């Protein structure tokens, strides 16, 4: 069976829907864990648009990933409220601990910036594998790692 047959089926579900490309991209990413480059042609053909248009939507929205993610995904809030409560220092320590810069991925980790989790009163915030952790200091992050939150 074709590795990307599921992508064709997903495109078919959304191609006549207004705003369907965005919904299709979410479904593709949900299925594969990212948006494989091989699916861009499938979407372009299905929606009768150019590859550049598909790529433009992918690159506009920060949450779409075109490479596989690490086993653990860490997102650190970089919005103003979290910055005022120490997220820059926290981010610097996380970068050192994970040996990754924001936006980078290795087999074990993906480290990404987030721009507001809507939890500003409990800044700074870190999301680890989809679970939000409030009031995270560099020391608390290290404890989360040691406690197996990653």
Render pLDDT for 89-103 as a digit per residue (tens, 0 to 9): 999 999 999 999 999
**Quick check: is 111 in a domain?**
yes
Q: Where are the alpha helices (DSSP H) in the chain?
A: 5-14, 20-32, 38-47, 51-60, 80-84, 87-98, 138-146
* Confidence (pLDDT) at 2: 61
- What is the per-residue pLDDT across 21-54, written as a single tens digit (0 to 9) for each? 999 999 999 999 999 999 999 999 999 999 999 9
The band of 150, judged by pLDDT with boundaries at 50, 70 and 90, is low
Q: Do residue 52 and residue 116 come from a single domain?
A: no
37 with 89, same domain: the answer is no
Question: If you count them, how many residues does the chain have?
Answer: 150
Q: Is residue 65 part of a domain?
A: no
Tokens of 145: 């790692």
Domain coverage including residue 113: 72-146
Of 24, 2, 22, nearest in space to 11 by CA: 24
Give residue-wise pLDDT tens across range 63-83.
Answer: 899 999 999 999 999 999 999
Specify the pLDDT at position 66.
93
Written as six digits, the tokens of 19 are: 């705003």
- Residue 1 binned pLDDT confidence (cut-offs 50, 70, 90): very low
């Amino acid at each position: 069976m074709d590795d990307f047959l599921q992508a064709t089926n997903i495109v078919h579900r959304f191609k006549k829907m207004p705003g369907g490309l965005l919904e299709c991209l979410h479904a593709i990413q949900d299925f594969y864990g990212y948006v494989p480059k091989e699916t861009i042609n499938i979407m372009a053909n299905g929606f009768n648009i150019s590859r550049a248009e598909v790529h433009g939507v992918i690159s506009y929205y920060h949450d779409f990933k075109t490479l596989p993610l690490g086993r653990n995904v860490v997102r650190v809030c970089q919005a103003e409220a979290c910055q005022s409560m120490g997220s820059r220092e926290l981010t610097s320590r996380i970068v050192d601990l994970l040996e990754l810069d924001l936006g980078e991925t290795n087999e074990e980790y993906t480290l990404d910036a987030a721009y507001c989790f809507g939890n500003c009163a409990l800044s700074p915030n870190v999301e680890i594998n989809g679970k939000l952790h409030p009031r995270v200091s560099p020391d608390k992050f290290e404890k989360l790692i040691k406690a197996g939150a990653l």
